Structure 1
């Protein structure tokens, strides 16, 4: 309950932040895809970014795990020209595990993530754009959807426009990730490289690859992932998206499929 209280306090502070005059900055949601853009939400504006449905399949040695997340949402609030606050929450997740002839199911609430993203260069995301995003995860949810303990991390997104149609993206991250047993933390590091292609003024195709090393005490793993996502900007403040992620290594999940929506207010 104390974590819920902290979240409520933060939401209250954000709601009380006085609105500032919005600039003419293009809308730049953090979804879809694996990486994180370096752009900042315009001051006084709010971006609500939701995965309407997200399904992940992981098969190993005859076992199968299906994870479905519903309504996984990130809220971004522009505080200044170069700083935004973030609150993320998974309201519901379902995990189905099949091993041999037995099947286990669990439906849970997920954890809350709080973060602050600060721009170091080009907060509008144009040209060379760089930001830092420290975050903390609060154990509001329950395992296996929730992690079971608090975690933290740092993301340093970098993007660069080669021209009006091609954008290079790089997202390094280091985490104090929660141990698999839900008690304690360990180091996990990852790097994501991507290429964004503007197919038209409204449609963007993004191709990405990720390498993740996780030093969990139960066993170190290295995951390789490939991602393809498509975003359609329906208007200046509304984006619809879909995407697919494929596992390239033994430790990685086999496939992930999702659809989502982002709206700026």
Structure 2
């Protein structure tokens, strides 16, 4: 898994070289108009809708200034097994990411865990359900938002412990660096590195978690595509990797509505298997 992490980030210089050769002519000849929250981008000039879901790799592109976008897990089912008897099951309903375009290079996001039900079975059985945590995120595009074959963004975030019955009742935060590259023949490549300052309940201290991903997408038809992704996380507490193989189809119903369904399949021991159904739309 360490070799996978090195491969993702050693490839960045090559991608940067491709970016310098693939800048759209319009971005060289004229300065983009200065749209903002109070001066929205005209609908005729909207970029193709780009979403942070359904893969774990966040998008390097933004919501257009003055426009609103919702991306939600309508239904999410997870199951995690520890040993032979202990299991953790989780049901999520309407875990939504609410996004608002502020400027040409920045948007703000609020992730809302509307309802979560968790069940523990085995040596320490129990059940809890209710409203979950809130996560505030700000995404800043560094390049590629308005043209070019590649794009890079930075997204700091902070998790607010608003869940009374679910969650770990602690403040957490970090930063995500998503990268995107457009490939020939309707293929796309994405990767990211996420660093999170997480709470360790056993030691009552915070520690660093690193989570690299690599995803490949392809358009099968004009309105139908799909993705395959490898997502990992290095846990400094356990000194080990957790990884999943993710994938599923994406149906672009209109230019402003998208449906998806997929699976996160565990590649390592004690890692959750997750099924999800989602929808995204833009106004």
TM class by shorter chain equals 0.7 to 0.9
Q: Deviations over 1:176-198 (max 9, x none)?
A: 01224595421000100010111
Q: Deviations over 1:136-195 (max 9, x none)?
A: 11111135x323111111100001011241001111111101224595421000100010
> What is the aligned partner in structure 2 of residue 10 from structure 1?
none
Q: Which consecutive residues of structure 2, in runs of 5 or more, have no partner in the other structure?
A: 1-36
Distance 1:154 1:179 in 2: 18
After superposition, the Cα gap between the structure-2 partners of 1:179 and 1:118, relative to the gap in structure 1 and judged at 3 Å, is same
1:155 equivalenced with 2:176 (yes/no) = yes
Deviation at 1:205, TM superposition (A): 0.7
List runs of 5+ in structure 1 lacking aligned partners. 1-16
Q: 2:211 aligns with which of 167, 190, 206?
A: 190
1:168 corresponds in structure 2 to: 189
Cα deviation 1:106-165 (Å, max 9, x = unaligned): 11221111111011111157510110001111111135x323111111100001011241
1:79 is paired with a residue of what secondary structure? strand
Change (3 A) 1:236 1:94: same
User: Contact 2:81–2:270 at 8 Å: present in 1 too?
Assistant: no
1:2-54: per-residue Cα shift (whole Å, max 9, x none)? Answer: xxxxxxxxxxxxxxx52423333011111111111101111111101110110
Q: Any conservation in 2 of the 1:26–1:124 contact (CA below 8 Å)?
A: no
Residue of structure 2 in register with 1:82 after alignment: 105
Shift of 1:210: 1.4
CA distance in 2, matches of 1:107, 1:34: 24
Change in Cα spacing, 1:97 to 1:84, as seen in structure 2 (3 Å) is: same
Asked which structure has the greater CA Rg, the reply is: 2
Other-structure match for 1:39: 61
